């Protein structure tokens, strides 16, 4: 499990360094996650140590919401002041996410159907 955690942290570090050097307006962990995805697509199958680490982290995913809850409690006054902007941002981002997910899903289904016809 330590090896799998080390892999995850190394990819996060590489993502952070890449963002710092390039000045991209993307969080470093997101870049690291994209790099990990590419590496895992390139290397099949998924290493057992990484699978075990990922399953353990996912089983304790609810703990990651504790900092968000503390932030909401700590910044309650600011949330009360800016509720309209936050509501609009949340609704729009949700709608955009649903639309993009639907478009990607449709493209993947179309791609799969095209591969099945030709293969």
pLDDT number for residue 95: 98
Asked if 48 and 13 sit in the same domain, the reply is yes
Give me the number of domains the chain comprises: 2
The last residue of one of the domains, among 10, 42, 59, is: 59
**Residue 8 to residue 54: CA distance in whole angstroms:** 9
Residues 100, 104: Cα–Cα separation, whole Å: 6
Does 79 lie in the same domain as 52? no
Final residue before a domain boundary, out of 37, 59, 81: 59
36-66 pLDDT, tens digit each = 999 988 887 878 888 899 899 889 988 888 8
Q: 55 and 69, same structural domain? A: no
- 82 & 52 share domain: no
Q: Domain range for residue 72?
A: 65-119
Asked whether residue 2 falls in the same domain as residue 38, the answer is yes
Answer with the one of 59, 82, 107 that is the final residue of a domain: 59
pLDDT digits (tens, 9 = 90+) for 65-92: 888 889 889 998 999 999 999 999 999 9
Question: Based on the domain organization, do 86 and 115 belong to the same domain?
Answer: yes
Identify the pLDDT of residue 119.
Answer: 64
Confidence check: pLDDT of 21 > 70: yes
Q: Quick one: 54 and 74 in the same domain?
A: no
Q: How far apart are CA 37 and CA 59, in angstroms?
A: 20
Residue 46 pLDDT: 79
Q: What is the mean pLDDT of residues 18-41?
A: 92
Write down the mean pLDDT value for the chain: 90
Give yes or no: residues 27 and 54 share one domain.
Answer: yes
Integer Cα distance of 43 and 41 in angstroms: 6
The dihedral of CA 73, 90, 108, 39: what is its sign?
negative
């Amino acid at each position: 499990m330590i090896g799998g955690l080390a892999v995850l942290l190394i990819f996060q570090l590489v993502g952070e360094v890449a963002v710092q050097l390039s000045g991209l307006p993307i969080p470093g962990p997101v870049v690291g996650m994209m790099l990990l995805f590419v590496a895992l697509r390139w290397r099949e199958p998924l290493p057992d140590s990484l699978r075990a680490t990922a399953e353990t982290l996912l089983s304790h995913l609810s703990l990651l919401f504790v900092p968000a809850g503390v932030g909401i409690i700590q910044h309650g006054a600011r949330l009360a002041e800016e509720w309209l902007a936050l509501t609009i941002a949340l609704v729009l981002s949700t709608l955009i996410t649903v639309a993009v997910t639907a478009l990607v899903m449709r493209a993947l289904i179309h791609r799969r159907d095209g591969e099945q016809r030709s293969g």
